[in-house]
Amino acid sequence: MTTRIDNLKLLSFASEIDDKTIEQAKETAALPFVHPHVALMPDAHYGKGSAVGTVIPTVDAVIPAAVGVDIGCGMIAVRTTFDAGAIENLDRAELRTSIESAIPLSPGNYNRAVDRYPFTAGRIAVLEELAEADGVDLAHSPKWREQLGSLGGGNHFIELCLDEDDRVWMFLHSGSRGVGNRIAQRHIKIAQRLCRQWHIPLPNADLAYLPHGTSELDVYLRDLAWAQRFALENRAEMMDRFRQAFAHWVGHDGEPATLETERINCHHNYTVREHHGGKDVWLTRKGAIDAHEGVRGIIPGSMGTRSYIVTGKGHGGGLCSAPHGAGRRFSRTEAKRRYTEADLEAAMTGIEYRHGAEWIDEIPQAYKDIDAVMADAERLVSIDHVLRQVLNVKGT
């Protein structure tokens, strides 16, 4: 379903959405530089500054807080050459332990060294060269190299999945880690300071923006591009480590790279230059993926529910975008109030995962029904594969 909200520049694709999220989206859509409209994705829910699941096209301005503090957060998926029969008699706890050893989990937990894997050095070199070429100042994050290949916490995860034909997929969700957060926080504060200095009235301070023609916007866009590249490389680094652990687990004799048949790596928190409504705009996808016609994408469910590999349909009303997941129904605090560790265990029956009360706020019941989200997204994407988890690893 698609609904225009109160004749504003606001279209909603969500059949389940609360008033608080709608009001937040109205504030964003009312900004004078929004064109042609804001699109609310099927998984939209209340967030900081602007709703998560919001696609915001802006002319000659960018809102740093709308991009968010986890710049470039997104998904990567790899389809392997293996099927369910190859792993059914293997100890999944053994693979989980191997993953936890290879990839640092939880906020603030980084790699002790950057030379453990041979493929890491090339990624660091690319990021160093990009920072030098664009004048990106990373003095605020001297440990950014150690952050490469680390998961983080919250709803970031690593999974082993099976698709509708019982083929094995590797799957993970993460972003630009601490360095991306530092970059975001710096520019959010600059935008807020400038809007105060220029006496620009805003519905809330997190809609502060950087206008075209200012050095502040130029610097932000350079820093943003670097953080988005870091997030892309971070996911690829973790996937290569996951692939190596998986190859050892299944007894794969060849190079680990030979066990994958396709790889998809996509952002869902980012800004990019695109053309919509007859104009070139800065398109911010805050909790949304690129769904231009033919573009492959990934829409995960919550832990314990289905996820989807999709192809975009290029729907103009949706600003060539699609949802980035199930979307929260309850806040983390509310989820912990409603559910118990026993509830989580019941929801994760048959899935190898890290047991503990730390993950109650990620219980599937805290999220929207992914099937309803995908039904709402029917005009935005076509479904290529439906995945179900057999192993889940989360940070705290």
pLDDT in tens, 8-46: 799 999 999 999 999 999 999 999 999 999 999 999 999
* Inter-residue contact 101 to 264 (CB < 8 Å): no
Task: Report the pLDDT value the prediction gives residue 2, as an integer from 0 to 100.
Answer: 75
The helix/strand/coil state of 365 is helix
Q: Which amino acid is at 191?
A: A
Backbone torsions φ then ψ of 352, nearest 5 degrees: -75, 125
pLDDT value at residue 1: 61
pLDDT at 6 > cutoff 90: no
Concerning whether 324 is annotated as a catalytic residue, the answer is yes
Burial class (CB in 10 A: 0-12, 13-18, 19+), 202: middle
SS3 375: helix
93 exposed, middle or buried (CB, 10 Å; 0-12, 13-18, 19+)? exposed
Nearest to 92 by CA among 237, 245, 235, 238: 245
Residue 80's pLDDT band, with cuts at 50, 70 and 90, is very high
Name the domain count of the chain.
1
Average pLDDT over residues 288-304: 96
- How many helices (H) and strands (E) are present in the chain, helices listed first? 11, 17
Q: Write out the residue range of the structural domain in which residue 140 sits.
A: 3-329+367-394
Kindly state the tokens that stand for 189: 């504060």
Neighbours of 91 (CB within 10 A): 11
Q: Cα-flanking dihedrals φ and ψ of residue 54, to 5°?
A: -115, 135
**What rounded mean pLDDT belongs to the chain?**
96
Select which of 248, 324, 355, 385 is catalytic. Answer: 324
Q: pLDDT tens-digit profile of 171-219? A: 999 999 999 999 999 999 999 999 999 999 999 999 999 999 999 999 9
Let me know: does 179 contact 127? Beta carbons within 8 Å.
no
In a domain, 162, yes or no: yes
Q: In terms of pLDDT, which residue wins out, 2 or 79?
A: 79
Any domain includes 74: yes
Angle at the Cα of 185 from the Cα atoms of 225 and 123, rounded to 5 degrees:
35
Give 369-389 pLDDT, tens digit per residue: 999 999 999 999 999 999 999
pLDDT at 342 over 90: yes
pLDDT in tens, 185-197: 999 999 999 999 9
CATH code, domain with 309: 3.90.1860.10
In-domain check, residue 297? yes
pLDDT, tens digit (0-9, with 9 covering 90-100), for 81-96: 999 999 999 999 999 9
Cα–Cα dist 7/12, whole Å: 12
Distance CA 335, CA 317 (A): 33
Count other Cβ atoms within 10 Å, centred on residue 368: 27
Is residue 339 pLDDT above 70, yes or no?
yes
Element (H, E) at 172: strand 167-174
Helical (H) or strand (E) element with 307: strand 307-312
Answer whether residue 301 shows pLDDT above 80.
yes
Q: Tokens representing 346? A: 């019941």
Tell whether 183 is covered by a domain.
Answer: yes
Report CA-CA distances (Å) from 156 to 183, 300, 303, 362, 394: 20, 11, 10, 10, 6
Of 71, 50, 120, the residue nearest 223 (C-alpha): 71
What percentage of residues in the chain have a pLDDT greater than 70? 99
Mean pLDDT along residues 259-282: 98
Tokens of 213: 């023609």
Q: Which of 197, 172, 174, 217 has its CA nearest to residue 76?
A: 172
- Is 345 inside any structural domain? no
Tens of pLDDT, residues 112-139: 999 999 999 999 999 999 999 999 999 9
Helix pair 120-134, 215-250: axis angle to 10 deg: 180
pLDDT of residue 4: 77
Stretch 250-266: mean pLDDT: 96
Listing DSSP states for 223-270 in one string gives HHHHHHHHHHHHHHHHHHHHHHHHHHHHT--S-GGGGEEEEEEEESEE
d(CA 326, CA 146) in angstroms, rounded, equals 31
Q: How far is CA 377 from CA 40, 174, 241, 264, 317, in A?
A: 11, 23, 33, 19, 12
